[in-house]
């Protein structure tokens, strides 16, 4: 019997950096148990060039990525969602659509790399730092015994994952 695949939506305002990074990372680290998507409340319509540069440097396939509205995932034809995670504070404060599947939700806010101002190399390092923080949370999330936890316990755990911080000296 095949294991169930959990659908996860990562939300941000512009869907150009953080949510795209999280989508890619979960699809990589989810071991086939998770199918990740991303969307924005007010999508920019384009993926930030440094997001694409970073993901390409980390050997992600980026050709199918696109910036899209969260409305796509509120339609009756959308996949039922098991989890919805906001990765920016602005999207977390907005009124979200009703999601098919009554997903478990949590806020996993991280800094906005697209808003970081500075020299090109500092901007690249900041994008990597944000990606690394999201990747760390995703690895913790994928290690949870989801099938054996009741809904309330699982909700508590995914919220705790969103509070996970920590940086090595090289990421500062």
Whether residue 32 lies inside any domain: the answer is yes
What's the number of CA atoms in the CB half-sphere (13 Å) around residue 122? 5
User: Above 70 in pLDDT, residue 169?
Assistant: no
Query: What secondary structure does DSSP assign to 70-130, as a single string?
Result: GGGGTSTTSPPPSEEEE-SHHHHTS-PPPPTT--EEEE-----GGG--S-HHHHHHHHHHH
Task: Say whether pLDDT at 44 is over 90.
Answer: yes
pLDDT classification of 81: cutoffs 50, 70, 90: very high
CB 37 within 8 A of CB 15: no
Q: Which residue has the tokens 């319509």?
A: 45
Q: Are 151 and 158 in contact (CB under 8 A)?
A: no
More confident residue, 172 or 119: 119
Least confident of 8-22, 54-68, 89-103, 149-163: 89-103
Kindly state the average pLDDT of the residues 149-171: 78
What is the model's pLDDT at position 3? 78
In this structure, is residue 172 part of a structural domain? no
Q: Within a domain: residue 1?
A: no
User: Does residue 30 lie in a domain region?
Assistant: yes
CA–CA distance, 20 with 63 (Å, rounded to integer): 12
The pLDDT score that the predictor gives to residue 5 is: 94
The number of folded domains in the chain is 1
- Parent domain of 159: 6-163
Give the whole-angstrom CA distance, residue 7 versus residue 119: 37
- The Cβ-side half-sphere exposure at 127, using a 13 Å CA radius, reads 25
Catalytic residue numbers read 12, 88, 96
Tally helices (H) and strands (E) across the chain.
5, 4
Enumerate residues 6+ apart whose C-beta is below 8 A from 84.
Answer: 8, 9, 11, 96, 99, 103, 104, 105
Output the pLDDT for position 2. 56
**Would you call 143 helix, strand, or coil by DSSP?**
coil
Q: Does a structural domain hold residue 107?
A: yes
Does residue 159 sit within a domain?
A: yes
- Whether residue 136 lies inside any domain: the answer is yes
Name the token pair of 155. 């909700």
CATH number at residue 28: 3.40.50.2300
Q: What's the pTM value of the predicted model, to 2 decimals?
A: 0.90
91 occurs within a structural domain = yes
Residue 67, pLDDT score: 96
pLDDT tens-digit series, residues 103-159:
999 999 999 999 999 999 999 999 999 999 999 999 999 999 998 999 999 999 999
């Amino acid at each position: 019997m095949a294991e169930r695949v959990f659908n996860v939506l990562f939300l941000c305002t512009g869907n150009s950096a953080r949510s795209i990074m999280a989508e890619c990372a979960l699809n990589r680290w989810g071991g086939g148990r998770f199918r990740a998507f991303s969307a924005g409340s007010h999508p920019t319509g384009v993926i930030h060039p440094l997001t694409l540069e970073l993901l390409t440097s980390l050997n992600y396939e980026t050709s199918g990525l696109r910036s899209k509205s969260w409305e796509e995932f509120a339609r009756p034809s959308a996949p039922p969602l098991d989890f919805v995670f906001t990765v920016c504070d602005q999207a977390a404060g907005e009124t979200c659509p009703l999601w098919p599947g009554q997903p478990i939700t949590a806020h996993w806010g991280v800094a906005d790399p697209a808003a970081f101002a500075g020299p090109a190399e500092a901007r690249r390092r900041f994008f990597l730092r944000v990606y690394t923080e999201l990747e760390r949370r995703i690895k913790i999330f994928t290690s949870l015994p989801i099938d054996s936890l009741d809904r309330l316990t699982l909700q508590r755990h995914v919220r705790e994952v969103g509070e996970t911080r920590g940086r090595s000296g090289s990421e500062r």
